[in-house]
Structure 1
Amino acid sequence: MASSGPRNASNSSTPKKGINLQDPYCIKRVLDDSTSEVILSRGYVENVSLSNLKMGIGIFTCAIALAAQFYPKKFPANASFLVSCIILYPPSFLRQKMLNFSTYLIMNVILQYIILTKEKQHILFTHPFPGSFTSTGLAISSKLPRYSDMYTLRIASCDPKSVSANPPVEITKSVTKWFTKDGVLAEGIFWDDVESLLDDYEKGSRKSK
């Protein structure tokens, strides 16, 4: 296990609470959050466009559900009119439920498409580095397979086809290199590894020339 040497004085004065090392989801969340802190501390600005799109779709779906639930039109009481409604089109309340369900289904399909094709395993997207000539930001992704202690962190371009995109870089290490036996993240060691990986990515354009 890694030693819990603090990265700076503030870390040493703040007691860290250990996590359950038997919980891979918790381990990945801690490492992902720390990775985002490192990247943003280097001056990159998070791009929340995709998150806002997903949130907007969710809000729209909820709005449709509320509209269908509290639609003011009452169910027709006239029998002959009811028969005509059944023949010509579903009753008003059924029509609302069908609209609600179809809208929910469509929005859910769109969300799943975004997750599978755009979000994938990414934990952070950024805008191009402020003041740089590059036109594309970073796409940070990670994975920690089930029943495995090997954590993979990958830094790539948001637009791999861009002429300013650098070759992707990645690192794979056992999580035991970054956590103490008490489940405390050795921030200094992990931060250094992430910063080294980011340095390798930023040097990629120079190496490729």
Structure 2
Amino acid sequence: MEEKKTESATKNVKKVNLLDHIAIKHLLDESVSDIVTSRGYKEDVRLSNVKFLLGGIIIVVALVAQFYNKKCGICLLLDFGKYVVLTAVMQLILYIKEKNAILFTYPLEGSFTSTGLVVSSKLPRFSDQYTLTIDSADPQSISAGKSVQFTKSVTQWLTKDGVLVEGLFWKDVEALVKEYTEAGEPKKKR
């Protein structure tokens, strides 16, 4: 019985290769998404759906250009032009709207705010400093909250074996979400 408890506890452990900076960022980003959605925020996947649709159209255009009767050089040139334009639009969406975002959310149900959250993160190469930022999905909205962020070393949340100490990480991220929600609430007069 004791062996089963130990075995199930090791299955839930989130472990990462400490030499792989991309894997570390991915692990932390996935945990951030879990934490924010556990607080009642629902993920907004509209931008992801637009990217999938645009990516599908790009693939169809590329396939048509590849397998179309090549006797018409102008048609091939037009297909190539469509491919370039659609790819540029996709990159523009990624650059302008998505940036470093790992999660877009809808507003909390029953909340007075009309905007969701944009959660973004950075972990520069050759650095241990993880920056997590929470901002409003619509910064121009009157109900938009003030952007909050923290920058901390990943060594505060990862052991020397690469195991994520989830309790500490959850505490830090939940404190940041709480700071954002409290900063957006109007102050009560006494």
Q: Same fold (TM over 0.5)?
A: yes
Question: How far off is 1:132 after superposition?
Answer: 1.4
Question: Unaligned 5+ residue runs, structure 1?
Answer: 1-10, 76-91
> What is the match of residue 84 of structure 1?
none
Secondary structure in 1 matching 2:169 = helix
Distance, in Å, in 2 between the alignment partners of 1:121 and 1:198 is 18
Partner of residue 59 from structure 1, selected from 31, 36, 56 = 56
> What is the match of residue 160 of structure 1?
139
> What is the match of residue 84 of structure 2?
105
Question: How far off is 1:63 after superposition?
Answer: 1.4
> What is the match of residue 23 of structure 1?
20
Secondary structure in 1 matching 2:151 = strand
Secondary structure in 2 matching 1:28 = helix
Q: Which structure 2 residues correspond to residues 127-138 of structure 1 after superposition, within 5 A?
A: 127-138=106-117
Conserved? CA contact 2:117–2:136, under 8 Å: yes
- Kindly indicate whether structure 1 or structure 2 has the higher relative contact order, using CA contacts under 8 Å at least 6 residues apart: 1
> What is the match of residue 32 of structure 1?
29
> What is the match of residue 123 of structure 1?
102
Which piece of structure 1 moves more, 94-103 or 151-160?
94-103
Q: Kindly report the root-mean-square deviation, in angstroms, between the aligned alpha carbons of the 2 structures.
A: 2.1
Question: Unaligned 5+ residue runs, structure 2?
Answer: 1-7
Distance, in Å, in 1 between the alignment partners of 2:129 and 2:70 is 59
Instruction: State the Cα deviation string for residues 127-183 of structure 1 (Å, max 9, x = none).
Output: 111121211000001101111101010101011111101101111110000001100
Distance, in Å, in 1 between the alignment partners of 2:17 and 2:84 is 37
Question: What fraction of aligned residue pairs are identical, expressed as a percent?
Answer: 50
Computing the radius of gyration over CA atoms, which structure comes out larger, 1 or 2? 1
> What is the match of residue 127 of structure 2?
148
Normalised by the length of structure 1, the TM-score is 0.81
Distance, in Å, in 1 between the alignment partners of 2:187 and 2:28 is 30
- Give 2:15's aligned amino acid: G
